[in-house]
Amino acid sequence: MGILHDDVVIINQSKNEAEPSVITINCPDKTGLGCDLCRILLFFGLTIVRGDVSTDGKWCYIVLWVIPKPIIKWDTCRWELLKNRLIGTCPSCSSAFGISYYSSELQSSMVTDVFLIKLFCYDRKGLSHDITTVLCNLELDIKKVKVSTTPVGTVMNLFFVTDTRELLHTKMRQEETYEALVDVMQAAIISCNVEKVGPEVTACSQASPFLSSAITNDVVLRTSNNVSVTMDNSFSPAHTLVQIVCQDHKGLLYDIMRTLKDYNIQISYGRFYIKQGRKCEIDLFITQADGKKIIDPSMQRALSSRLQMELLRPLRVVVVSRGPDTELLVANPVELSSKGRPLVFHDITLALKMLNTCIFLAEIGRHVIGDQEWEVYRVLLDEGASLSTPRRKIEEGVWKLLMGWEQI
């Protein structure tokens, strides 16, 4: 039997900013649902401090305790927008007894239109971050970027985006985008144009011989603290228990869920909570796609090793020399569904703005590193600014902001 639309996602907003709000999700289950929900929460800038998941394989019940970033204003409209996005990713429910029940036909297989926002403007410090913030607030998902600074102090910004609201083809939505950019950039804008482009612009990946070995090899550069992953088949006759203990970081639950989604693992019951000192403990009772526990030792080792790797270093950050110039490289794994990690370029540009470091060139591309597809952000730093800020400080500052740790 189906459930009413408003009962799919229920959000109880906290009256105290220091206390978490509670999101309850009650809907049919699907493999990877937890990953899709966590990705939305990450995009909205919410930190999950506790979570409970239970499912019988057909229906799931999820409760998440979340805290917004203090710098983001959360009003009723934004909470309602979040609720709609969460409902949109839940599997459809059936109608029954002639009552109108929730039925979302949003399918991941649908091809989303890609648009090019071509923005020509005068350069200034923090420009890329200001533009990125506007696009994120408008729910425009950045797929690819190319930023080029000219010798005369102007910048050509090419942002390839998809619209979560699927309205960017309309004149009203394009005007809304233009006005939001003008509000932030004022007279710095010279021209702005929005046009639809083919999805192939952002779909192609390539193995690039021009990426620094520092970002492509498996040598650990910057990592989180120790991660413990253990598997046990003795606690349940039908499930494998996975216990994870690690340090918290931004998108931690997303990193776990996307890894399990890529392995086609089903979570039957799970609990996540952050203890004092930002130490996280996660207990997950899982099965394979066939509904059986993981008995094969090689499969156990592969999954355990992958989880450890993803939690130790969910992103790769390094500052290298590119000829006479200084280049910042950031890479993150892409889901098998081809979705990248949310807000990475936003956080990169924010870190550089806080470090008083300017961007000369920037681009996002998809590359095959080893046997996995990665989204790689290449940022050529302004020569004057890069010399005034030590490379190690840039690398550490970007890493910490991406991980959601202490501010620069």
pLDDT for 331-372, tens place per residue? 999 998 888 899 999 999 999 999 988 888 898 888 888 788
Residue 290, helix vs strand vs coil: coil
Q: Is the pLDDT of residue 401 over 60?
A: yes
Domains and CATH numbers, the chain: 1-94 (3.30.70.260), 112-201 (3.30.70.260), 211-312 (3.30.70.260), 315-407 (3.30.70)
In tens, the pLDDT along 217-250 reads 654 455 666 899 999 999 999 999 999 999 999 9
In tens, the pLDDT along 285-301 reads 999 989 999 999 999 99
> How far, in Å, CA of 265 to CA of 30, rounded?
10
> How far, in Å, CA of 175 to CA of 255, rounded?
36
Structure tokens at 342: 């949310």
Q: What is the pLDDT of residue 293?
A: 95
Query: Structure pTM?
Result: 0.86
Q: Is the pLDDT of residue 214 over 90?
A: no
Burial of 109: CB neighbours in 10 Å, binned 0-12, 13-18, 19+: exposed
Q: What is the pLDDT of residue 204?
A: 56
Residue 32 carries which DSSP code?
T
Block residue for tokens 């590193």: 369
Block residue for tokens 């494998």: 240
> How far, in Å, CA of 320 to CA of 68, rounded?
34
For residue 48, CA distances in Å to 19, 42, 63, 67, 286 come to 12, 9, 10, 7, 21
